[in-house]
Amino acid sequence: MLNVVVMVSGGGTNLQAIIDAVDNGTITNTRLEGVISNNKNAYALERARIRGIPAQCVSPKDYEERAQFNRKLLEAVDAYEPDLVVLAGFLVVIPPEMTAKYKNRMINIHPSLIPSFCGTGYYGLKVHEAALERGVRVVGATVHFVDEGTDTGPILLQKAVEVKQGDTPKELQRRVMEQAEWKILPRAIDLIANGKVTVKDKKAIIAQ
DSSP state of 196: -
What residue type is assigned to position 144 of the chain?
Answer: H
Between CA 62 and CA 18 the distance in angstroms is: 29
Is 12 known as a binding-site position? Answer: yes
Query: Is the separation of the CB atoms in 189 and 94 below 8 Å?
Result: no
Give the count of beta carbons closer than 10 Å to the beta carbon of residue 154: 19
Which residues lie below 8 Å from residue 162, measured CB to CB, with a gap of 6+?
Answer: 137, 138
187 in a known ligand binding site: no
* Catalytic entry in 27, 55, 106, 110: 110
Cα separation, 62 vs 122, whole angstroms: 26
13 a known binding residue? Answer: yes
Respond yes or no: is residue 128 known to be catalytic.
no
Can you say whether the dihedral through the CA atoms of 144, 11, 34, 90 is positive or negative? positive
DSSP track, 165-190 = TT--HHHHHHHHIIIIIHHHHHHHHH
> Is 119 a known ligand-binding residue?
no
**Does 10 count as an annotated binding residue?**
no
Q: Which residues are catalytic?
A: 110
- Residues contributing to the annotated binding site: 12-14, 66, 108
Binding site members for (6R)-10-formyltetrahydrofolate? 66, 108
